Amino acid sequence: MKNMTRSLTFLALIGAAAPPPSLAGFTLKEISPESAACAACHKKESPVIYAQWGSSKHFRANVGCFECHTANKEDPDAYEHYGQYISTIASPKDCARCHEKEVQEFNESHHAKGARILGSLDNTLAEVVEGNRAFKTTAFPDGVSAAAASGCWQCHGAEVKVLQNGRLDPATWPNTGIGRINPDGTEGSCTACHSRHAFSAAQARTPDTCGKCHMGPDHPQIEIYNESKHGIAYRANVDKMNLDNPKWIVGEDYAAAPTCATCHMSATKDQATTHDVGMRISWNNRPEISIRPEIADAKLGLPGKDITWETRRANMINVCINCHNENYVKAFYVQYDALIDLYHGKFAEPGLALYQAAKPLLAGPQFSSKLDFIWYEIWHHEGRRARHGVSMMGPDYTHWHGTYEVAKHFYSEYIPELQELAERHMDSASADKKAAAEALHQLIEATLNHDNHKWYLNKMDPAEKARREQQVKEFQKRYGK
Amino acid sequence: MKNMTRSLTFLALIGAAAPPPSLAGFTLKEISPESAACAACHKKESPVIYAQWGSSKHFRANVGCFECHTANKEDPDAYEHYGQYISTIASPKDCARCHEKEVQEFNESHHAKGARILGSLDNTLAEVVEGNRAFKTTAFPDGVSAAAASGCWQCHGAEVKVLQNGRLDPATWPNTGIGRINPDGTEGSCTACHSRHAFSAAQARTPDTCGKCHMGPDHPQIEIYNESKHGIAYRANVDKMNLDNPKWIVGEDYAAAPTCATCHMSATKDQATTHDVGMRISWNNRPEISIRPEIADAKLGLPGKDITWETRRANMINVCINCHNENYVKAFYVQYDALIDLYHGKFAEPGLALYQAAKPLLAGPQFSSKLDFIWYEIWHHEGRRARHGVSMMGPDYTHWHGTYEVAKHFYSEYIPELQELAERHMDSASADKKAAAEALHQLIEATLNHDNHKWYLNKMDPAEKARREQQVKEFQKRYGK
Amino acid sequence: MKNMTRSLTFLALIGAAAPPPSLAGFTLKEISPESAACAACHKKESPVIYAQWGSSKHFRANVGCFECHTANKEDPDAYEHYGQYISTIASPKDCARCHEKEVQEFNESHHAKGARILGSLDNTLAEVVEGNRAFKTTAFPDGVSAAAASGCWQCHGAEVKVLQNGRLDPATWPNTGIGRINPDGTEGSCTACHSRHAFSAAQARTPDTCGKCHMGPDHPQIEIYNESKHGIAYRANVDKMNLDNPKWIVGEDYAAAPTCATCHMSATKDQATTHDVGMRISWNNRPEISIRPEIADAKLGLPGKDITWETRRANMINVCINCHNENYVKAFYVQYDALIDLYHGKFAEPGLALYQAAKPLLAGPQFSSKLDFIWYEIWHHEGRRARHGVSMMGPDYTHWHGTYEVAKHFYSEYIPELQELAERHMDSASADKKAAAEALHQLIEATLNHDNHKWYLNKMDPAEKARREQQVKEFQKRYGK
């Protein structure tokens, strides 16, 4: 297994590269007088924060309020608070003083780039289509979209704006989006998963943590997990998961079920834990057409550009084989790839070509036409559900929430809408429009006459049609219709 | 903090007002002979009821079957059962014999008025649009809608009808709807949350209890909670929640997570527990346009009419600050209010005005036109999801289930349907219709030319358009489209 | 209670019929040398499988790898593995060597027939509409639909194809669909619920196990359960459920809540556990029009053809009365049946008749027209949700996900689409089409003028209309519109 070897070598190197913590060890001898001063007041003012901290590993290591919130006077978000300079946000840079390896891995991941959605279709939706500029704050005197601030940014991360005295602009904070751009220029929010102020690894390992963002119509990973055998086993055996064990190696420390972390991040006996969540996925199912993760990493300038999907798949298989034999895992990947192929060949590629052909006929801006929404949901919502569903063995999401919805909208909404659009411009006074309408019409015809779609025109191969009609008769007899 | 002070004073008064229980103490010296007689038989006939009662605080207090189900012979639903007069339903009046303060608070809440939906749009749907009169019972010889009986009434509460010998009409019972109108005239069903026959406070404190009704397309509070940091922490730490502690003060008795009860009902070190669930909410997000809760209370004649939203918000902040600092909480409310403003200004207010303008052109009764359903779902389903989503920090519900759906249907369904309606009547023979069509057309034009919507007409400010196009190019370069 | 008696007799007979296990007792004296050899290697290669087996009852009974995976050389899927003939799949036939009664009950259930979907509408969807033949494997040289393989088959069961050396075709395995057709000809997959390799009864008893397949838009049983009082009690009291007790009789071994298994499969003090999940249901809500389960069993040639729905309902009532009194249960069934009647009378029967009348006018194959999808979802998705919702007391699924959606699509999509279809062919050159269009038009008119629908035509009885308008006024006054 060549790929595996490369992968494990790669990961071992990452592990070896972790330098010692820049603080004098993870454990301080005693609590600092500054943190003790914070606690004296906050145990009364914020009793839950105090209690959660008291339940954390930080407490045992004498890492208190001050150790994480301390700031230099000149830091952009520093402010004086009872004689100390502190900042509200503890950024990955702060966390990296003790957790350097984790932060570095995170920095190399897509998660760290979550806030770079400016200019995306989704961003246009939130700012222009759903939003307006009525949300005016000190940092946004011309206004910003409340739909972006309370929607997108809460998962993707805001670019936090600092006001006077270290106060944070309320359009940009509270925010724990995974790719938050912090006042110190760092990207990311460790509390996205390691919630304040217990910072519990156990909680971060629960699938619900990931479900904060990985849920809903366009990326229902938590719903798929809950449907899957993996999720069923987890819910039934959560008490056997040993979730709060510092060492948490599948097959050594727990064997009842995998969580999201198990497969995508946590250690096996061969692989170290990684905070780069893309190192075990072999498809990036985000775009219209799924791409390989190294391509996506290259676009973002991430070092993952050099880690091929085959290596990443070998990494994942190294997790799977703790619970499944290799034949099983390989056959699963045959099924997974086949569904991606089906989605690509039958819907995504022709659908995208049709959309490009329709564009010259769409007068208004994107999302001003129903066609825009139909195509957008086919790939962005339903097509993703199918692809994510199969990737995690959730058959209902693959089929009923996935390919069924894709096909339903392709045939009953997209094609008719395209046909009407072509027809409407067939006799256009504009030669360009007329030509575009003719080209669109031709492409619709070619698409529907393809083997994939000719059933729709009642042009199914007669032998197959007869065979199917026979099956229907037998079914109806069997179920007594 | 003036508001806070007023609020806490108010709540302290409620606390102080609680009179001693009307029974001789909460604890009886021994089980009554009547209850012992019940148990002798029911431990065999209904072993689970017996077991659940055995796990309850009632058991320890010697409060048995008879103490709650006893009735006077003349009670409308009394019947003789092995020599005793009892009734099937233990109403709030029965519970109030020991739990007077809780019942009084409940009586002052919207929950108690849940059954007052007769005449509402939702009621029309269930009785006329979805329903028919085929469900005939003794109490409803002319029939009643089964969709109302098994749908609406199961959450809102039925008006329970008594037949002969204390038997309850099956169209109206089984029913544990929160606002049930009981045979004794009281409103409410304590078992809506305190399920028979353990009446466990611990269970009532779980978010799933509230999720019985607060879920689904039009008020997905439980889904939002499960997505939120609050829900994630709860699911990960349920064992640390100390849920069955009699005293359950956040920051004193538990610190791992808040449930619905924590924020809306349960005690803080400054506030007593309240069974009036509206005392900490500052928006009523039920109607087309959100209103302040004191306005809603005034309409229903509830004493909450005198408690301003500012006071209620201060009450909530008094919960929040156990886990968050005041800056955080205030900034959260800035975000919450901004989203409400966006929804109101961009969609709810113009949408409602357009609907009013369209009404003269809608020939049939409400819900006979597709337009009725489109507008209804924009505000009743999708607009609520956005508003509830932001109120509880569930970004996917705010955006993908919320503002995205609102905007999608506003532009791709509502506006085109309205435009077609106006056009269809533009040359109407009826002068009234013609005028209405013209007015509707004008309003559509004015709406679309407003700053909020002019992007749709491709009239975005050129500078902004250029800036956005630049962003799109950068994004596409970044992600390699 | 005549029915009950018959039922209990029937079930007692099944219990009595269970023969002794064909292995020499359930417990082997010591682990076999073959299994010991397997374990020696697999404890390193597949540590989780080894650990899960170590947690199972099989371990304590010295039932190891070899006991279940052993095969005869001539078995179709046998292959040699380190000197032993084994097969990958342990089929129900293998399990039946010790668990004969369970397998026999299962074989008599609909679950066992799950893979017989060839020729069904859903199958057409997955193979033709959603799918193509791009997924080519050794067993499917002409290709098969990836949407079927990763969608339908994962719940319904694949027909597993064996390649050379006992290798299984990857289009058909991994697969744990409930009705899987195994290489040895048996039907079913015990691991569908008793997940490898712990085979935990406790896990099989959790509702999430059933939710693997019983979820989603067309059969959301797990969502309904989670909404219901039953699910709320379960989630709050999972620690009190005694789920891993070998004997698990409701009212004896647990009393906190019922799971799916409790009501549909598990023992009461009068009834034995059964693996025929249909023995307590009184409606089969799968088809357009709900049918009685004995009718469905007869069509499939199952012995359940002789067990009437009344007997099955008596079986269920025998579960219910552990927690509810008989009046309660009977009144619940009145509500359940009334909702089925409403759905049948108002929507399913006229809807089906209209669809039949429309068929001669639909030129293309099924699902090439929007009308096909509209009607399909009304009964297959939304109508089922209403029926399943009421059957398990989930009011939101009954109403908002159920009857509301049915009615919305009936009036705002189905009727207008049918009207347009009739109109389009009213002047058809074809006499047949013209006649069909006229017949469809007449049927639409008759349907809408029926008492159930005449509100839509504004023909509501004037007295009722006046009464309703008064109610609306009172509501608006109450809520201050």
Residues C369-381 pLDDT 10s: 999 999 999 999 9
Residue B356 touches chain C, beta carbons under 8 Å = no
User: What is the predicted pLDDT for the residue at C105?
Assistant: 97
Residue C479: pLDDT band (50, 70, 90) is: low
pLDDT for residue A7 is more than 70:
no
pLDDT for residue C456 is more than 70:
yes
pLDDT for residue A20 is more than 50:
no
Residue of C nearest to B244 (CA): C236
Q: Which one of B346, B396, B408 has the shortest CB-CB distance to A132?
A: B346
Please tell me which residue, A96 or B14, carries the higher pLDDT value: A96
Are A255 and C146 within 8 A, CB to CB?
no
- The predicted-structure confidence for A35-67, as pLDDT tens digits, reads as follows 999 999 999 999 999 999 999 999 999 999 999
> Which residues 383-412 of B are in CB contact (within 8 Å) with A?
386, 389-390, 393, 395-404, 406-408, 411-412
User: What is the predicted pLDDT for the residue at A3?
Assistant: 41
pLDDT for residue B15 is more than 50:
no
What mean pLDDT is predicted for residues C160-172? 96
Q: pLDDT exceeding 90 applies to what percent of chain C?
A: 88
Q: pLDDT exceeding 70 applies to what percent of chain B?
A: 94
User: What is the predicted pLDDT for the residue at C446?
Assistant: 98
pTM for the whole structure: 0.94
- Are the C-beta atoms of residues C380 and C386 closer than 8 Å to each other? no
Q: pLDDT exceeding 90 applies to what percent of chain B?
A: 88
pLDDT for residue B244 is more than 70:
yes
Mean pLDDT of chain C: 93
Of A257-261, B296-300, C187-191, C222-226, least confident by mean pLDDT is: B296-300
Nearest-neighbour CA in chain B from A124: distance (Å): 8
Are A147 and B403 within 8 A, CB to CB?
yes
Q: Which one of A334, A407, A480 has the shortest CB-CB distance to C299?
A: A480
Residue C27: pLDDT band (50, 70, 90) is: confident
Nearest-neighbour CA in chain C from B124: distance (Å): 8
pLDDT for residue A13 is more than 50:
no
Residue A59 touches chain B, beta carbons under 8 Å = no
In angstroms, the Cα distances linking B128 to B145, B366, C453 are 8, 10, 8
Residues of B in contact with A53 (CB under 8 A): none
Residue of A nearest to C167 (CA): A327
Residue A323 touches chain C, beta carbons under 8 Å = yes
What mean pLDDT is predicted for residues B308-314? 98
What mean pLDDT is predicted for residues B296-306? 95
The sign of the dihedral angle between the CA atoms of B298, B304, B310, B316 is negative
- The predicted-structure confidence for A369-424, as pLDDT tens digits, reads as follows 999 999 999 999 999 999 999 999 999 999 999 999 999 999 999 999 999 999 99
Nearest-neighbour CA in chain A from C20: distance (Å): 31
What mean pLDDT is predicted for residues B304-319? 98
- Three-class HEC string of chain A: CHHHHHHHHHHHHHHHHCCCCCCCCCCCCCCCHHHHHHHHHHHHHCHHHHHHHHCCHHHHCCCCHHHHHECCCCCCCCEEECCEEECCCCCHHHHHCCCHHHHHHHHCCHHHHCCCCCCCHHHHHHHHHCCCCCECCCCCCCCECHHHHHHHHHHHCCECCECHHHCECCCCCCCCCCCCECCCCCECCHHHCCCCCCCCHHHHHCHHHHHCCCCCCCCCHHHHHHHCHHHHHHHHCHHHCCCCCCCCCECCCECCCCCHHHHHCCCCCCCCCCCCCCCCCCCECCCCCCECHHHHHHHCCCHHHHCCHHHHHHHHHHHHCCCCCHHHHHHHHHHHHHHHHHHHHHHHHHHHHHHHHHHHHCCCCCCCCHHHHHHHHHHHHHHHHHHHHHHCCCHHHHHHHHHHHHHHHHHHHHHHHHHHHHHHHCCCCCHHHHHHHHHHHHHHHHHHHCCCCHHHHCCCCHHHHHHHHHHHHHHHHHCCC
Residue B195 touches chain C, beta carbons under 8 Å = yes
Mean pLDDT of chain B: 93
Are C411 and B367 within 8 A, CB to CB?
yes
Residue C3: pLDDT band (50, 70, 90) is: very low
pLDDT for residue C179 is more than 60:
yes
User: What is the predicted pLDDT for the residue at B10?
Assistant: 39
Identify the three-state secondary structure at position B109: coil
User: What is the predicted pLDDT for the residue at A1?
Assistant: 36
pLDDT for residue B13 is more than 50:
no
User: What is the predicted pLDDT for the residue at A55?
Assistant: 95
Q: Which one of C341, C403, C455 has the shortest CB-CB distance to B134?
A: C341
User: What is the predicted pLDDT for the residue at A124?
Assistant: 87
Chains contacting A (3+ CB pairs below 8 angstroms)? B, C
| B163 Rama sector, left if φ>0, alpha if ψ -120 to 50, beta otherwise | beta
Instruction: Report, in angstroms and rounded to the nearest whole number, the Rg of chain C calculated over CA atoms.
Output: 26
> Which residues 442-481 of C are in CB contact (within 8 Å) with B?
451-452, 455-458, 460, 468, 471-476, 478-480
- The predicted-structure confidence for C50-91, as pLDDT tens digits, reads as follows 999 999 999 999 999 999 999 999 999 999 999 999 999 999
User: What is the predicted pLDDT for the residue at A28?
Assistant: 82
User: What is the predicted pLDDT for the residue at A121?
Assistant: 81
- The predicted-structure confidence for B169-186, as pLDDT tens digits, reads as follows 999 999 999 999 999 999
Residue of A nearest to B453 (CA): A129
Are C195 and A328 within 8 A, CB to CB?
no
- The predicted-structure confidence for C260-287, as pLDDT tens digits, reads as follows 999 999 999 999 999 999 999 999 999 9
> Which residues 119-158 of A are in CB contact (within 8 Å) with B?
119-120, 123-126, 128-135, 137, 145-147, 149-155
Residue B26: pLDDT band (50, 70, 90) is: low
Of A23-27, A305-309, A439-443, C324-328, least confident by mean pLDDT is: A23-27
Residues of B in contact with C332 (CB under 8 A): 170, 174
Number of cross-chain residue pairs from A and B with Cβ atoms under 8 Å apart: 211
Residue of C248, C403, C457, C458 to mutate, testing the B interface (most B Cβ within 10 Å of its Cβ): C403
What mean pLDDT is predicted for residues B54-83? 95
Residues of C in contact with B166 (CB under 8 A): none
Residue B481: pLDDT band (50, 70, 90) is: low
Q: Which of B114, B117, B119, B123 is nearest to B186 (CA)?
A: B114
What mean pLDDT is predicted for residues B79-102? 96
What mean pLDDT is predicted for residues C97-122? 92
- The predicted-structure confidence for A159-175, as pLDDT tens digits, reads as follows 999 999 999 999 999 99
Residue A258 touches chain B, beta carbons under 8 Å = no
- Are the C-beta atoms of residues B398 and B339 closer than 8 Å to each other? yes
Residue of A324, A396, A398, A453 to mutate, testing the C interface (most C Cβ within 10 Å of its Cβ): A396
pLDDT for residue C21 is more than 80:
no
Residues of B in contact with A151 (CB under 8 A): 395, 398-400, 402-404
Residues of B in contact with A203 (CB under 8 A): 232-233, 236-237
pLDDT for residue C16 is more than 70:
no
Chains contacting B (3+ CB pairs below 8 angstroms)? A, C
Of A338-352, C1-15, C29-43, C232-246, least confident by mean pLDDT is: C1-15
User: What is the predicted pLDDT for the residue at B11?
Assistant: 40
Residue A6: pLDDT band (50, 70, 90) is: very low
Residue of B335, B449, B460, B468 to mutate, testing the A interface (most A Cβ within 10 Å of its Cβ): B335
What mean pLDDT is predicted for residues B343-358? 98
User: What is the predicted pLDDT for the residue at B330?
Assistant: 98
What mean pLDDT is predicted for residues C189-203? 97
Residue A26: pLDDT band (50, 70, 90) is: low
User: What is the predicted pLDDT for the residue at A18?
Assistant: 37
User: What is the predicted pLDDT for the residue at A8?
Assistant: 42
User: What is the predicted pLDDT for the residue at C22?
Assistant: 47
Please tell me which residue, C348 or C23, carries the higher pLDDT value: C348
Are A479 and C117 within 8 A, CB to CB?
no
Residue A17: pLDDT band (50, 70, 90) is: very low
